[in-house]
Structure 1
Amino acid sequence: MSKEQSFLDQARIRLLYYGFFLIFVALGALYLNVYFQNQKMLADTALFLMGSVAVLFKYLTWRPDWRSAAHALLIIGTLVNASLVYASMQTVNIITVQVIIIVIVFSYYMLGQQWGLMYSLLNTVPVLVFMIIEYNSGYIISIKPNKVDQSTIIISLFANFILLIFIHSHFYTAFLKNIRHLKNSSREQARLYSKMETAIEKAEKSAQAKSEFLSIMSHEIRTPLNAVIGMSNLLMMSNPRPDQRENLEILKFSANNLLAIVNDVLDFSKIESGKVVFENIRFNLVELMNNICGGQILKAEEKGLLFKLDVDSSLRDKVLFGDPTRITQIIFNLVSNAIKFTPQGNIWVRVTCVEDRHNTVTVNFSVRDTGIGIEKENLESIFEPFTQESLATTREYGGTGLGLAIVKRLLELQELQMTVNSTMGRGSEFSFHMEFPVSTEVLPVVVTAPETKQFSENPLACLRVLIAEDNMVNVMLMKKLLSKWSINPTIAENGERAVEFMQYGNFDIILMDLQMPVMNGFDAAKEIRKMADPKKSGIPIIALTASALFDIKEQVYEAGMNDYVSKPFKPDELLEKLNNYTLNKVG
């Protein structure tokens, strides 16, 4: 017996163990009684049963297979019962009835309802058939039956009563223990459930606190980064001397590295929290791959690497449905890793159409390099968060170790697997398959038409821009940046002032920071949307956010804002947003 077994199974094993001893003693007494009365068939039957019980007891102690032992005992009992009725005694008496009752009770307790019913029928049906035969025509065979005297009946009845009492008493105790155990288990489960609810509540609060902490830290880190990167961009736009440009490039490179680390941590946290939602929009895979690898090619060339992008020509004219943002994230991380861990040699990015079924295509993405390679025993660990192949790799190449973890999680969320082949000192290859639905849309042929309308030299020069921003460094940065486009903005130091400016002034667009004192950007946007003047209430509002909250995009749109730009933003991105929302008005 073991603690893993239920109370009932333990009771069944004990019943067999002690029951074999009682049966053996009872059969021994019965054997002596019938032997001295010269009742050979009954004596042989008792001796056979004693031998069978001894063998089964030995089997149970050698191999604790109580089910097989119980089946064997019931089969032997069934055969012996039939032989007593049809051969040894050729009658149905109280001994036969008691044996049948013991078999029925034992089979139900030991083996359950199904087997209990089967063994009950196997013991009762032959006896009933015998009684019908004897009643109709009498039962006569050539074997002379043994006659049992009163002493044999007394010994048999006494032994049967003892066995019945033992079986019922044993299982009654087991059932009581089981009921008590169930009650205790129920109380324990209720206690554990209560603790689990408390733990879940704490975990939810912890997750919320983590999300808020990430948002605050993101804002606090991104805000100075916005100034560093923004000022670097402004200085580089001012035609610096070659030595100054080199210093500015180093400054910008370091700031972008820090921003990449922050973004990796935020992306991984978002994925782990299950907040990732995959889009299903139209895109052209060839254009997407060119956009992803465009900047990476320059980075590879700066390092002296040969970068080759090979996209299957059959994909050129297809419009696919999928999530280009997540594909970009996956490929960008893989290519960045390849460039990072390849001191010299080549980088190959291949996109191959594996299967084209007209309405769907299966595409294989492969990123191969001639880098340092990965040890076989480390192929699994490199996908763990905050893990690189070795401490030496981390020291030499740096990084958070989150890139491949993000890739793996994004693929797993789409039920996809990454295949890795790598040889130390010769390079690595990361590849995966992805299936896309194909749009029936035909890509239009781009025809360059002559411009019919000429804008002024700077169409944004007369743009009236209201900036709601409380950070003075960011205010200075925005002023300097917008001055490059001949825009002289109006500054509101908080949301309340932005609403006042809108009430008494006219503007074409608002750049709204979200976290400000007195009134935040969300509330300010809502107040502006309530204004009676449709021109003012309908003004385009672009949120400027350094927050890492996962639902920030939804919050921006719920507040009535048109779009958002994440800090630190790229000048080209902001310029594109300004053009999109104001060019028609200015033109």
Structure 2
Amino acid sequence: MSNKKAGFFNFSLYKILDEEQSILDRARIKLLYYGLLAVAAAGALVLINVYVQEQTKMAYSAAFMLISAITLFKYLTWDPNWHRVSHAILVVTTLSNLTDVYVILQDVNVVGMQMIILVIVFSFYMLGQRWGMYYSLANVLPVLGFLILQYETNYIIDFKPERLDQSTVIIMTVTNFGLIIFILSHFYEAFITNIRQFKESSEEQTELNVKLEKAIGKAEKSSQAKSEFLSTMSHEIRTPLNAVIGMTNLMLMNSPRTDQKENLDILKFSASNLLAIVNDVLDFNKIESGKVVFENARFNLVDLMQNICGGLRIKAEEKGLSFTLDVDQRLKNKVLIGDPTRITQIIFNLVSNAIKFTHQGNIWVNAACIEDRHNTSTVKFSVKDTGIGIEQNNLEKIFEPFAQESVTTTRQYGGTGLGLAIVKRLLELQGLHMNVNSKVSIGSEFSFNMEFPVSTEVVPEKEELSELLQSDNLSNLQILIAEDNVVNVMLMKKLLSKWRITPTIAENGERAIQLLQYGNFDLILMDLQMPVMNGFEAAMEIRKLPDPRKANIPIIALTASALFDIREKVYSSGMNDYVSKPFKPTELFEKMQNLVTVAH
């Protein structure tokens, strides 16, 4: 159906046809256009013929049909609403048929039967099955009723019937048959054209599907290539960063002079910033690929928040900002179940942003228990600052990847623009929403609610890690390190020497297996990417050794890789845990201690 209007004085068919109309709609409009012209011409001939023969009632009926045809033709050429015009034609024809049968002719003749057939064909083709059935029954049932009535009672009314002469019958018969043939041929052509187009469209769709499959294949290969590229680049970038940060930590542990400490702090800060940028890109790529799996680990939120904010507090205070961390004391003795790594990532990004965009004033970090049940606790996390604030119309923009509030912000404050995008995606993947309240030059507050299952176990008293690092409780360990990078080997030797450990070095996985077969070790630190035999292969071979003690030796993977499934690969190869390079000495110490304690 078209809403196109060509103007009241239009008589052209082409002005009421539109390329946006379907093939069938254009066919319907053409049928109405030529059909109404034919009916008007036939009506004029019949009117003249019956008028000459002084058949008054037939003349009125013919005049009614003629005026109706002209009126509907004019309406069609002004507003091509074929649906409305079709209904009008069928109503007029039905009334005319019944009037002829019951009043004017008081008989059912050949012309009347043709008219009924014409109504049936026209209604089904123009208006579909439902309306076709309605109009067909509206014509057929009354005529059948008349025939039964005439047969049973000799139908007679006080109205003298008229008879059609042969010339009128010929005109109407030719017109009716002509219209029936025209309707059938016209729609047959339209249907054939439609079928042809469907076939062509189907062939095009098949070609498109083939192209789409090829494109999907290319996209999958491209995605795989991107993942491998990121993994390689991650390894190549993290490996030297591991050496830079590791050596800096070692030098800071040697009580350097004040001027040396300042230089080392700057070096460590710059390397950490570079690592943060690399991690942001890799984490965002992992999240966008849907490769994030959330853990269900037990942790204490108070300890976690203090660990997250420890280094950030120092960073804030270096800028002259007041830093306040407030964790609900009801959470102190609770063991929650969730993903502490992702919580750390979210809070760290929010607090880092708050510090970055605040020149003076305060940073508030709050974790409040807003609903406390026996087996679940709902915590509201909020990070508030007195920073530069955000324009209201930019609140959505700041969560877009690689975007900050403005170009000026990017130039002045730096960063990848991925921090908040990562935060938003991580929350959305858990069905959570970030709330933002911000006023320019006054500050911003980011908050979200997270529900945690609560474990029934009691929080153990932890020994301070700083004390552990200074202790010699690992000094008797025999450590085997499988590492091919000379700088990393030197770094590991220096770090382990702080814990009074003298490691044995294997330059590849094959050599590590040989050393393990002829020596006794308590733990293996296994690099993953090595020549001859990589870490995965070496771990699997070790687990096959006939000596149970050697086959079950604890293995910690040392990896600079960013592959999405690195965690699964590490565990499936038989290794016990992994540490990502560049690693924190405290993290490595803790994992070594845990594995050795369990093994013994």
Q: Which residues of 2 match residues 100-115 of structure 1 at below 5 A?
A: 100-115=116-131
Q: 8 Å contact 2:300–2:459 — kept in the other structure? A: no
The alignment status of 1:502 with 2:540, answered yes or no, reads no
Q: Are 2:20 and 1:15 equivalent residues in the alignment?
A: no
Of 459, 462, 465, the residue aligned with 2:473 is: 459
Q: Give the match for residue 472 of structure 1.
A: 486
Query: Aligned partners of 1:59 and 1:247: how far apart in 2?
Result: 89
Look up the SS of the partner of 1:148 in the other structure: coil
Is the CA contact (8 Å cut-off) linking 1:374 and 1:423 kept in structure 2?
yes
Q: Structure 2: how far apart are the matches of 1:448 and 1:331? A: 23
Deviations 1:220-263 (A, max 9, x none): 00000000000000000000011111111110000000000000
CA drift of 1:581 comes to: 1.2
- Taking the aligned partners of 1:226 and 1:309, their CA distance within structure 2 comes to 31
Q: 2:340 aligns with which of 324, 328, 332?
A: 324
Equivalent in the alignment of 1:203? 219
Indicate the larger mover: 503-512 or 80-89. 80-89
8 Å contact from structure 1 (residues 317, 442) kept in 2: no
CA RMSD of aligned residues (A): 2.4
Structure 1 window deviating more from structure 2 (30-39 vs 289-298): it is 289-298
Structure 1 residues 79 and 294: alpha-carbon distance in aligned structure 2, compared to 1, 3 A threshold: farther
Deviates more, 1:363-372 or 1:567-576: 363-372
Q: Decide whether the 8 Å contact of 1:348 with 1:369 is kept in 2.
A: yes
* Structure 1 counterpart of 2:502: 488
2:547 is the alignment partner of 1:533: yes
* TM-score of the aligned structures, taking structure 2 as reference length: 0.91
Correspondence 1:170-185 to 2 at 5 A: 170-185=186-201
Structure 1: segments with no counterpart, 5+ residues: none
- What is aligned with 1:129? 145
The count of residues paired between Structure 1 and Structure 2 equals 580
Provide, for residues 44-71 of structure 1, a one-character-per-residue CA deviation record: whole Å limited to 9, x for no partner. Answer: 2332233333333333333333222222
Q: CA deviation at 1:286?
A: 4.5
CA contact (8 A) 2:334 2:458 kept: no
Report the equivalent of 2:57.
41
Q: C-alpha distance in 2, partners of 1:327/1:456?
A: 29
State the one-letter code of the partner of 2:138.
L
3-state SS, counterpart of residue 112 of structure 1: helix
Give the match for residue 305 of structure 1: 321
Deviation at 1:419?
3.1
Q: Secondary structure at the match of 1:192?
A: helix
Separation in structure 2 between the aligned mates of residue 91 and residue 19 of structure 1, nearest angstrom:
26
Deviations 1:130-168 (A, max 9, x none): 111111112222333332111111111111111111101
Shift of 1:39: 2.6
State the 1:316 CA deviation. Answer: 5.5
Letter in 2 for 1:487: I
In structure 1, the residue matched to 2:46 is 30
Residues 2 and 342 (structure 1), Cα distance of their counterparts in 2 relative to 1, 3 Å cut: farther
In 2 relative to 1, CA 78–319 (structure 1 residues): closer, same or farther, beyond 3 Å? farther
Structure 2 unpaired stretches of 5+: 1-16
Q: Is the 8 A contact 1:317 1:443 kept in 2?
A: no
Q: Does 1:523 align with 2:533?
A: no
Q: CA deviation at 1:455?
A: 13
| Aligned sequence identity (%) | 66
Confirm or deny that 1:421 pairs with 2:437.
yes
Q: Which moved more, 1:7-16 or 1:278-287?
A: 278-287
Name the CA shift for 1:31/1:456 in 2 (closer, same or farther; >3 Å): closer
Alignment of 1:158-307 (within 5 A): 158-307=174-323
Give yes or no for contact 1:459–1:583 (8 Å, CA) kept in 2.
no
Within 2, Cα distance between the matches of 1:378 and 1:151? 82
Partners of 1:437 and 1:22 lie apart in 2 by 79
Please give the per-residue CA displacement for 1:402-438, whole angstroms capped at 9, x wherever unaligned: 111112222332343333332222222223344x264
State how far apart, in whole Å, the 2-side matches of 1:310 and 1:236 are.
30
8 Å contact kept, 1:352–1:363: yes
Residues 565 and 111 (structure 1 numbering): CA distance in 2 closer, same or farther, change over 3 Å?
same
Instruction: Please state how far the C-alpha of 1:311 moved relative to its aligned partner.
Output: 4.3
Q: Indicate conservation of the 8 Å contact 1:318/1:438, yes or no.
A: no
Q: For the residues of structure 1 that align with 2:109 and 2:212, how far apart are their CA atoms?
A: 61
Partner SS, residue 42 of structure 2 = helix
Task: State the alpha-carbon separation in 2 of the partners of residues 445 and 518 from structure 1.
Answer: 46
Task: Choose from 437, 458, 479 the match for 1:444.
Answer: 458
Corresponding residue to 1:142 among 149, 158, 173: 158
CA distance in 2 between partners of 1:359 and 1:33 (Å): 96
Counterparts in 2 of 1:292 and 1:88: CA distance versus 1, 3 Å: farther
